[in-house]
C-alpha cells in the first residue's frame, strides 16, 4: 500500500502542476492537487518504514481531499452544459476526486485484508 500511496502522490503533484500551467499561472488554487499529492507522497515514504502510521495519515488526507473537491465535482452538470465558471477547476477537481476515492477504497480493502490475516493467524 505504501508504493501505491507514493504513486498517487506523484500523480497528484503532476496533476496540480499541469493544472497550474494550463491556468497560465493565474490561480494558485490549481496547485491544490499538488499540495495534497505532496502530503500523500510524504505519507507514502513514512509508510515504507511504518505502514500503519503512513497509510493512516494518507487516508485522512485523501478523505479531506474528497470532501474539499466535492464542491467543484458537483458542477459537472454545468460543465457539460457549457455553463461552468471555471471549467479547468471542475475537470481537475473531478480527476482528483476520482483518484482519491479509488485510493480510499484500496486503503479500506487493505485494512480489511490485514485484519483478516491477523485474525486467521490468532
Domain that holds residue 78: 2-121
pTM score, whole prediction: 0.92
The maximal CA–CA distance of the chain, rounded, in angstroms, is 58
User: C-alpha cell of 60?
Assistant: 485522512
Question: pLDDT tens string for the chain (122 positions)?
Answer: 999 999 999 999 999 999 999 988 888 889 999 999 999 999 999 999 998 999 999 999 999 999 999 999 999 999 999 998 889 999 999 999 999 999 999 999 999 998 898 888 76
Of 46, 53, 39, 49, the closest CA to residue 8 belongs to: 39
Contact 9, 44 (CB under 8 A): yes
User: C-alpha cell of 38?
Assistant: 505532496
Contact partners, residue 38, CB within 8 Å, separation at least 6: 9, 13
Domain count, the chain: 1
- Give the integer Cα–Cα distance in Å for 48 and 80: 41
Amino acid at each position: 500500500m505504501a508504493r501505491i500511496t507514493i504513486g498517487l502522490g506523484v500523480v497528484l503533484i503532476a496533476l496540480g502542476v499541469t493544472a497550474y500551467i494550463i491556468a497560465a499561472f493565474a490561480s494558485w488554487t490549481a496547485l491544490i492537487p499538488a499540495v495534497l499529492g505532496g502530503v500523500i507522497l510524504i505519507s507514502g515514504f513514512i509508510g515504507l518504514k511504518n505502514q500503519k502510521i503512513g497509510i493512516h495519515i494518507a487516508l485522512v488526507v485523501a478523505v479531506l481531499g474528497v470532501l474539499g473537491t466535492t464542491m467543484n465535482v458537483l458542477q459537472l452538470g454545468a460543465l457539460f452544459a457549457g455553463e461552468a465558471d471555471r471549467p479547468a477547476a471542475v475537470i481537475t477537481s473531478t480527476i482528483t476526486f476520482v483518484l482519491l476515492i479509488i485510493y480510499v477504497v484500496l486503503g479500506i480493502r487493505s485494512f480489511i485484508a490485514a485484519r483478516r490475516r491477523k485474525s486467521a493467524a490468532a
